[in-house]
Structure 1
Amino acid sequence: MSKVKTNNLLTPAQAAKDLGISVATLRKYSLIVEKTTENSKYFERNSQNNRLYTQKNIEDFKEMVKLSHGPKMTLETAAVQIYPATDVKPEADAKQSDEISALQTTVAKLESENKKRELTIKELQQELTDAQKAKEQLQAELATLKQQAEEKAENTDVKKDENIKERVNEKVNDDKKGHWWNKFMG
Structure 2
Amino acid sequence: MTKVKTNNLLTPAQAAKDLVISVATLRKYSLIVERTTDNSQYFERNSQNNRLYTSKNIEDFKEMVKLSHGLKMTLETSAKQIYPTADVKDTSDAKQDDEVSELHATIAKLESENKKRELTISELQEELADTQKSKEQLQAELTTLKQQAAEKAENETAKKDENIKERVNEKVSDDKKSHWWNRFKA
TM-score range, shorter chain: 0.7 to 0.9
TM-score, normalised by the number of residues in structure 1: 0.83
The residue identity in structure 2 corresponding to 1:122 is S
**How many residues get paired?**
181
2:97 aligns to what SS in structure 1? helix
1:137 deviates by: 1.5
Identical residues among aligned pairs (%): 80
For the 8 Å contact 2:9–2:54, the answer to whether it is kept is yes
Look up the match of 2:49. Answer: 49
1:29 deviates by: 0.9
1:178 deviates by: 4.2
For the 8 Å contact 2:36–2:76, the answer to whether it is kept is yes
The residue identity in structure 2 corresponding to 1:16 is A
Aligned Cα root-mean-square deviation (Å)? 2.4
What is the distance in 2 between the residues matched to 1:163 and 1:77?
119
1:22 deviates by: 1.1
What is the distance in 2 between the residues matched to 1:182 and 1:66?
156
Look up the match of 1:182. Answer: 181
Look up the match of 1:36. Answer: 36
1:74 deviates by: 2.6
> Structure 1: which 5+ residue stretches go unaligned?
none
What is the distance in 2 between the residues matched to 1:48 and 1:107?
48
The residue identity in structure 2 corresponding to 1:18 is D
Runs of 4+, deviation exceeding 4 Å:
183-186
What is the distance in 1 between the residues matched to 2:20 and 2:62?
10
1:95 aligns with 2:69: no
Look up the match of 1:131. Answer: 131
Look up the match of 2:159. Answer: 159
Look up the match of 1:70. Answer: 70
Look up the match of 2:14. Answer: 14
For the 8 Å contact 2:176–2:182, the answer to whether it is kept is no
What is the distance in 1 between the residues matched to 2:153 and 2:31?
101
